[in-house]
């Protein structure tokens, strides 16, 4: 093991004057890799020396320079970036076409990523992020996510566009482990999508692939998605087993996906491509192909989100809670970033201590658990979109919201 650390140290010292060996791995995009400078490398080596293979990383504090300047709660909104792919799916008479539209929505969220190998902030208990979308067709969408549990970490989220009759509810339960030369994050949880105009379809359930940060000891740091996720609609007996392929040592390519769509026991189509580039669907019956998503062509068409100014936010809203850390990261002031991050975490530990002493139980603001799943504390009017909009806005942004 010490030999690996030595090799990592020699690699890091070369980072400022790059050699041929320091170039990014083939098939990766420049933004997919990270090369540490000497100071950053020393911090990483110090951290890794405390780890053991298989160790749960939920209680490990990572250095601030590996952080993406936003909370995980906000990062979930990446999957709401291309709503046009799912809007109007209820008008498709063919259930297989509706299923394909769900696939498009899901696959279009992965191309959005920070430069290099970065991780978002770990949300603290009770933290929440909320935003509104104003779409070109005059309709709106609304989103809220909340950290409903700290040990284990669980982020619950809710999205709805009443006029477009789309609702998404889900939760993420990430679990990270140290694997030697990589860190894996198992993304447990699911997205549950409802086309409100087709209630007979029931839910479309989507699980997540796992994430791997490779090359943390030697080689270049590369972020990959790997393993198999599932997209399914039980009511119409439609399923897709979608494999996110990690690159092998000597073969394969980065960011590749492959999947098969089936209805009942019969295959109906194949999914292929790269989630960072172009993904296609091929019909087994007709042999015809269609592009599911082209990141280069359509990746910039991201639906903008409206978030109130930090001064108008509550203390536990993500951007206000982490504003000092975000500012320090953007200014590349690692010392001040560490202080800002510690301040939030220390305050959270003190709050947890007081709760334990008083016997107070934390109660999430927006979500509650039903039959093992986190659901919004909201009854949505089904027959009137304007009533639904009013109900959702009042629930997410109460007229006299109390500071937490």
Backbone angles phi, psi at 387, to 5 degrees: -65, -40
Total residues found in the chain within this entry: 404
**Dist. CA 114–CA 330, nearest whole Å:** 13
Q: How confident is the model at residue 58 (pLDDT cuts 50, 70, 90)?
A: low
Contacts of residue 352, Cβ cutoff 8 Å, sequence gap at least 6 = 125, 150
| HSE toward the beta carbon, residue 123, CA cutoff 13 A | 30
Point out the least confidently predicted range of 20-24, 51-55, 264-268.
20-24
Residue 346 has pLDDT above 90, yes or no: yes
Q: What is residue 11's predicted lDDT score, i.e. its pLDDT? A: 38
Q: Regarding predicted confidence, which is higher, 163 or 11?
A: 163
pTM: 0.83
- What is the end-to-end Cα distance of the chain in Å, rounded? 47
């Amino acid at each position: 093991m010490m030999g690996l650390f030595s090799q990592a140290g020699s690699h890091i010292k070369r980072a400022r004057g790059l050699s041929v060996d320091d170039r990014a791995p083939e098939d990766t995009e420049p933004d997919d890799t990270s090369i540490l400078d000497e100071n950053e490398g020393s911090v990483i080596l110090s951290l890794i020396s405390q780890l053991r293979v298989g160790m749960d990383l939920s209680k490990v504090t990572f250095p601030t320079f590996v952080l993406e300047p936003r909370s995980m709660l906000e990062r979930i909104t990446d999957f709401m970036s291309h709503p046009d792919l799912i809007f109007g799916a209820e008008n498709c008479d063919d259930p297989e076409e509706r299923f394909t539209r769900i696939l498009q929505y899901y696959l279009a969220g992965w191309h959005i990523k920070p430069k290099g190998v970065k991780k978002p902030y770990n949300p603290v208990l009770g933290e929440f992020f909320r935003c509104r979308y104003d779409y070109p067709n005059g309709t709106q969408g609304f989103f809220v996510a909340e950290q409903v549990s700290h040990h284990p970490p669980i982020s619950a989220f809710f999205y709805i566009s009443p006029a477009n009759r789309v609702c998404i509810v889900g939760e993420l339960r990430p679990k990270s482990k140290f694997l030697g030369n990589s860190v894996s994050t198992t993304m447990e949880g699911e997205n549950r999508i409802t086309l409100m105009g087709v209630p007979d379809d029931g839910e479309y359930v989507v699980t997540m692939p796992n994430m791997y940060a490779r090359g943390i000891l030697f080689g270049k740091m590369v972020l990959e998605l790997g393993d198999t996720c599932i997209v399914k609609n039980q009511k119409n007996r439609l399923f897709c087993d979608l494999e996110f392929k990690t690159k092998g040592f000597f073969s394969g390519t980065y960011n590749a996906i492959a999947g098969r769509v089936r209805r009942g026991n019969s295959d109906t189509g194949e999914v292929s491509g790269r989630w960072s580039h172009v993904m296609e669907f091929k019909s087994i019956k007709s042999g015809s192909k269609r592009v599911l998503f082209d990141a280069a062509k359509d990746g910039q068409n991201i639906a903008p989100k409206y978030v109130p100014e930090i001064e108008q936010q509550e203390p536990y809203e993500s951007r206000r809670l982490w504003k000092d850390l975000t500012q320090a990261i953007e200014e590349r002031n690692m010392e001040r970033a560490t202080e800002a991050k510690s301040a939030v975490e220390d305050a959270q530990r003190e709050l947890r201590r007081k709760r334990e002493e008083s016997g107070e139980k934390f109660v999430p603001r927006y979500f509650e658990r039903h039959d093992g799943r986190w659901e919004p504390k909201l009854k949505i009017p089904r027959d009137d979109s304007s009533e639904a909009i009013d109900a959702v806005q009042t629930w997410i942004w109460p007229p006299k919201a109390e500071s937490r």
